[in-house]
């Protein structure tokens, strides 16, 4: 049935609908936690900006420690059981935080430990999820599937961030963690209800390549492919800057702008609305001007608005925070949709887990560094100065794409050429496209 059928994938594809529901619920809970955890540290434990940054760093550090071997394990194993196990572990860990608070066991060390362990579960879940999605969708449906998943994730993030601040203000930040635990129950039920059973991934089980050899294969895929290389280097630089300011934005809004927890959640939710805008426009922009040019528009053009964030002041000045964050969110989500569809078509299916893990290792690996640098800069130079430095890194990171083959092509390729293919490369400049045509 055509993807243009009324209702699209959510109406006609039961398994995708369940995957979509579970992922949306998980994103909602993660967004509640994104506000609640820093607020617990700041309000209940009187943590400083470096300790708050350490929480974010702990959540992302497992990508550096485990990302590469997890990619190989995912390529060797069915993906859905990995996702189920990771969701169950996260449910138990997040539920442990309010329980610890009830018995007086809450501490910064406990929060860091929970962040580290749930981050480990997220490595397994996200790697398996990225490789699992293309297996249940036809290639022509993958752009729509990516757009719907990213769009609903952004909408859930808006609701979760707003709810996180509100719950924290009404019942306490610790209680807000129950919301995240509950969403993992929904995620588990949805994943368990999927009927599709994965065939054995081509090439796995038929060879005796060592774990190190397969890890090296994933890294080599990035190192020798100009498209993967440019996108991965950009992702690493971009995440360093993004996490640098996002890890301390709650502290910035509370201590520099003077906001209460409720408005903090509402403001961050408003910036996340840009993700919905990015999801709604990504396919249209890519169809109109090409996937390569759309990548630059989202990542570089909209990234420039990050420079408005450090100008935020009390009163009407908070609109600068909203405008800057809205555009950054739109650019990140729009760019991610284009990138995800490109990778799913361009990468051989048997290498998708390793590609996901290898790119995540390199690009997500800078996230804990960004979180720590944000906290360190805020401690040494002051919170506003740290926000100014880290937000400036957002458009600077996009210059990697500007000086890569992405700038010289209208559309990113859909078929990967074997490394030993010596045929001359096609002209990647393409035909010029006038604005509005």
Q: Per residue in 51-75, pLDDT tens? A: 877 887 888 788 778 877 887 787 7
Q: Give the structural domain span for 350.
A: 13-196+211-408
Higher-confidence position of 119 and 433: 119
3-state SS assignment for residue 63:
helix
C-alpha 92/C-alpha 94 separation (Å) is: 6
Q: Look over the chain and give the mean of its residue pLDDT values, rounded to a whole number.
A: 80
Report angle CA 31, 33, 34 to the nearest 5 degrees.
60
DSSP characters over 391-426: HHHHHHHHHHHHTSGGGG-SS--SSPPPTT--SPPP
Q: In this structure, is residue 356 part of a structural domain?
A: yes
What tokens appear for 215 in the block?
A: 């890890």
Contact at 8 Å (CB) between 215 and 67?
no
Task: Indicate which CATH number applies to the domain containing 295.
Answer: 1.20.1250.20
Q: Is a pLDDT exceeding 90 seen at residue 420? A: no
Is 206 within a domain? no
Q: How many domains, the chain?
A: 1
Check if the beta carbon of residue 155 is closer than 8 Å to that of residue 21: no
pLDDT band at 435 (very low <50, low <70, confident <90, very high): very low
* H-only helix segments in 290-403: 291-296, 318-346, 352-363, 366-381, 383-402
> Which tokens belong to 349?
């299916």
Q: Kindly state whether residue 190 falls inside one of the protein's structural domains.
A: yes
Q: pTM (2 decimals)?
A: 0.67
Residue 62: closest CA among 116, 127, 104, 102 = 116
For residue 157, the model assigns a pLDDT of: 66
Residue 328 has pLDDT above 90, yes or no: yes
Question: Of 186, 208, 167, whose CA–CA distance to 25 is shortest?
Answer: 186
Asked if residue 159 belongs to a domain, the reply is yes
Q: Is pLDDT of 6 > 50?
A: no
* Domain assignment present for 204: no
Handedness of CA 289, 293, 295, 301 (dihedral sign): negative
**Per-residue pLDDT at 84 exceeds 70:** yes
Q: Tell me if 429 is assigned to some domain.
A: no
**Please, which residues have CB within 8 angstroms of residue 4's CB and are 6 or more apart in sequence?**
none
Residue 275's contacts (CB-CB under 8 Å, 6 or more residues apart) are 150, 151, 153, 154, 155, 157, 158, 329, 330, 332, 333
Looking at the chain, the whole-number percentage of residues with pLDDT higher than 70 is 85
Question: Does residue 125 carry a pLDDT above 90?
Answer: no
Q: What share of the chain is helix, strand, coil (3-state, %, to 5)?
A: 80, 0, 20
Mean pLDDT across the stretch 357-377? Answer: 82
For 336, other C-beta atoms within 10 Å of its C-beta total 20
| Confidence (pLDDT) at 321 | 94
Q: Identify whether 18 is part of a domain.
A: yes
pLDDT at 400 (0 to 100): 93
Helix axes 261-289, 142-171, angle to 10 degrees: 170
Answer whether residue 2 is part of any domain. no
Residue 432 pLDDT: 28
Quick one: average pLDDT of 310-325?
Answer: 92
Smallest CA-to-CA distance from 82 within 44, 24, 132 is with 132
């Amino acid at each position: 049935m055509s993807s243009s059928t009324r209702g699209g994938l959510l109406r006609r594809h039961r398994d995708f609908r369940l995957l979509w529901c579970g992922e949306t619920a998980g994103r909602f809970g993660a967004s509640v936690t994104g506000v609640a955890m820093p607020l617990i540290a700041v309000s209940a434990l009187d943590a400083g900006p470096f300790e708050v940054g350490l929480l974010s760093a702990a959540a992302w550090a497992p990508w550096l420690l485990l990302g590469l071997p997890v990619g190989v394990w995912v390529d060797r194993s069915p993906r859905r059981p990995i996702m189920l196990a990771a969701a169950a572990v996260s449910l138990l860990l997040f539920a442990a935080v309010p329980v610890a608070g009830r018995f007086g066991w809450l501490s910064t060390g406990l929060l860091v430990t929970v962040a580290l362990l749930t981050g480990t579960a997220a490595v397994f879940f996200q790697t398996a999820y990225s490789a699992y999605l293309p297996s249940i969708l036809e290639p022509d449906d993958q752009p729509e599937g990516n757009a719907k998943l990213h769009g609903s994730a952004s909408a859930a993030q808006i609701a979760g961030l707003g709810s996180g601040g509100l719950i924290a203000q009404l019942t306490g930040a610790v209680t807000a963690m129950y919301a995240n635990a509950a969403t993992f129950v929904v995620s588990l039920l949805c994943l368990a209800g999927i009927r599709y059973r994965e065939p054995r991934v081509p090439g796995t089980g038929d060879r005796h390549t060592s774990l190190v050899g397969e890890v090296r294969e994933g890294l080599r895929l990035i190192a020798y492919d100009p498209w993967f290389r440019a996108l991965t280097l950009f992702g690493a630089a971009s995440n360093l800057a993004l996490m640098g300011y996002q890890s301390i934005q709650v502290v910035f809004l509370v201590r520099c702008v003077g906001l209460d927890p409720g408005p903090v959640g509402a403001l961050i939710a408003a910036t996340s609305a840009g993700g919905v805008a990015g999801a709604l426009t990504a396919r249209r922009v890519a169809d109109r001007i090409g996937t390569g040019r759309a990548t630059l528009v989202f990542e570089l053009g909209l990234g420039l608005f990050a420079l408005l964030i450090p100008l935020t002041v009390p009163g009407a000045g908070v609109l600068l925070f909203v405008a800057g964050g809205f555009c950054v969110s739109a650019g990140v989500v729009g760019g991610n949709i284009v990138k995800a569809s490109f990778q799913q078509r361009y990468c051989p299916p048997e290498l998708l887990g390793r590609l996901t893990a290898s790119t995540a290792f390199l690009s997500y690996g800078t996230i804990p560094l960004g979180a720590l640098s944000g906290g360190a800069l805020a401690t040494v130079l002051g919170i506003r100065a740290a926000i100014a430095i880290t937000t400036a890194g957002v458009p600077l990171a996009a210059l990697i794409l500007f000086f890569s083959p992405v700038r010289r092509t209208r559309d990113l390729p859909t078929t990967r050429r074997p490394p030993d293919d010596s045929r001359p490369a096609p002209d990647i400049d393409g035909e010029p496209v006038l604005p509005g045509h």
